Structure 1
């Protein structure tokens, strides 16, 4: 298999952003292990994000430097951009969660050294977020979009964001969505799960370079049909969920006074409602962008 030629500009800029993300990710993991520390479910989540992104970035950097990616049955440009977009979202989440739960203005019992390391971890994590985001932006530079593929286009990036927001929605539902004995809410979750599965499938087809696999349905028409279907499904779920949760006939429009902080079903339902409308807007933007022709 012939190794595809990559424009020099893309190699220079994308590899530079990726190398910065790699160095910053290594620094974050090293500082957390050395002194900053982590604990509880939120700490484990942040550490898992940093370790996973660092490991995958290392593999991508090695394959790109050695040009061994030509042996893989994937669209390399689509794969790297999709991962960079996903890593940006994951790093943003970890960069918010870690300082929120582990950084304070006062020195903890272990001393100010631990606090200073945690501040450095949060700073490097945010810097790595910018590095991953820069990789996505640089893939859209003139003359490089064709090499990067569909995932570098606005609809491609939007699909990664849609899938990520859907995962956060599922986390909110699992944290206390109050589904027991409420089939209407279960239907809303089924809609979100179905859209998440189809969106992930489209991303997988693009990453594997199989956008033309369905000969009876061209890629652009497939995107348009799915975008319209997903928009209608999300619209129904986004309207039904808050009605079934906050209407006085089915739930409570106000937060209960006895609701415990951090473990309240009402809070989780509110978060899910907001994120559902957010994804509804993302699907609407995706549908609009999908009407424009892009190189795949």
Structure 2
């Protein structure tokens, strides 16, 4: 099969330009972060390396995916892949925007909080936000396409599933941070129940994503709409449990015996906010799934 390359006018198309924007600023961001001197973190702040690694993984991972899309779109080879290309591009753009937003907030707030501002650190913060804007522009342009062009992941239920994956991914560094900085008396069963809930929900979201991107819906042993409704129901239940635990931790902030630091308080609040947003996403998604089942039943 001959390789087909885009025509000259396609290299000035909005999609090509915005993906070029994303590649340039994502590359600039993780390059600047890699060159920053963060070795002066004291012993009590050494765990912040986890958040730095998380941010670096986000930028490097989505840089790789965007370059992959960029190349295959240029040579028109994407039709040979055994995946739903339109769903794949929408998922990468929307999830890239959400994850880049997280990294753009986490890195200056946590990592650079106790560092002396330098031109390189300020440039890192700026390029991280420009990366987020690039993915946001791409997501908006994909949403402006017709339903057939943007696929299922560009619909409201698809966007909710992307939000669910984002929520599960945010919990990974938060839990690791919790283990490092939270008092041992707060760890107990609360921590492990939360970990089990977040892990199960993230696994279900990733399975759903693989089924949709791989066009495996027709091969499921159960009707796919019931499959999605069951996952949404389990997600609502598990995140409801996790949210209750989060609000219980918030109440523990008032207990003077724990003597919690400002960093621990911030982690409590962030985990509660992310858990609440993800619970809302699962609840609305469950409502869409029930509506779909009822419509097909009539």
TM-score, scaled relative to structure 2 = 0.75
Question: What pairs with 1:270-281 in structure 2 (closer than 5 Å)?
Answer: 270-281=269-280
Q: Aligned in 2, Cα 1:138/1:289: closer, same or farther, shift over 3 Å?
A: farther
Question: 164, 167, 170: which is aligned to 1:168?
Answer: 170
Asked whether the 8 Å contact 1:158–1:286 carries over to 2, the reply is: yes
Q: Aligned in 2, Cα 1:270/1:152: closer, same or farther, shift over 3 Å?
A: same
Instruction: After superposition, give the CA deviation of every residue in 1:128-147 in whole Å (9 maximum; x if it has no partner).
Output: 2111122222222242x312
**How far did 1:67 drift?**
1.4
Q: Which residue of 2 aligns with 1:224?
A: 229
Asked whether the 8 Å contact 1:192–1:234 carries over to 2, the reply is: yes
Q: What residue ranges of structure 1 are gaps of 5+ in the alignment?
A: 109-114
SS in 2 for 1:254: coil
Question: 88, 100, 104: which is aligned to 1:91?
Answer: 100
Q: Which residue of 1 aligns with 2:80?
A: 71
Q: What residue ranges of structure 2 are gaps of 5+ in the alignment?
A: 4-8, 40-47, 293-298
SS in 1 for 2:143: coil
Question: 150, 153, 162: which is aligned to 1:151?
Answer: 153
Which whole-Å CA distance do the structure 2 matches of 1:103 and 1:246 have between them?
26
Question: What pairs with 1:31-180 in structure 2 (closer than 5 Å)?
Answer: 31-32=32-33, 36=36, 41=49, 42-100=51-109, 115-143=118-146, 145-176=147-178
Instruction: After superposition, give the CA deviation of every residue in 1:131-177 in whole Å (9 maximum; x if it has no partner).
Output: 1122222222242x312211111222222221222222233233225
Which whole-Å CA distance do the structure 1 matches of 2:95 and 2:15 have between them?
16
Q: Which residue of 1 aligns with 2:296?
A: none
Q: Which residue of 2 aligns with 1:189?
A: 195
**How far did 1:28 drift?**
2.7
Instruction: After superposition, give the CA deviation of every residue in 1:167-207 in whole Å (9 maximum; x if it has no partner).
Output: 22233233225588844553343222212211111011111
Q: Which residue of 2 aligns with 1:283?
A: 282
Q: Structure 1 residues 50-59 or 172-181, which shifts more?
A: 172-181
Bigger helix fraction:
2
Provide the aligned C-alpha RMSD in A: 3.5
TM-score, scaled relative to structure 1 = 0.76
Number of residue-to-residue matches in the alignment: 272
Asked whether the 8 Å contact 1:173–1:269 carries over to 2, the reply is: no
Asked whether the 8 Å contact 1:234–1:276 carries over to 2, the reply is: yes
Which whole-Å CA distance do the structure 2 matches of 1:97 and 1:285 have between them?
27
Which whole-Å CA distance do the structure 1 matches of 2:229 and 2:65 have between them?
32
Asked whether the 8 Å contact 2:253–2:260 carries over to 1, the reply is: no
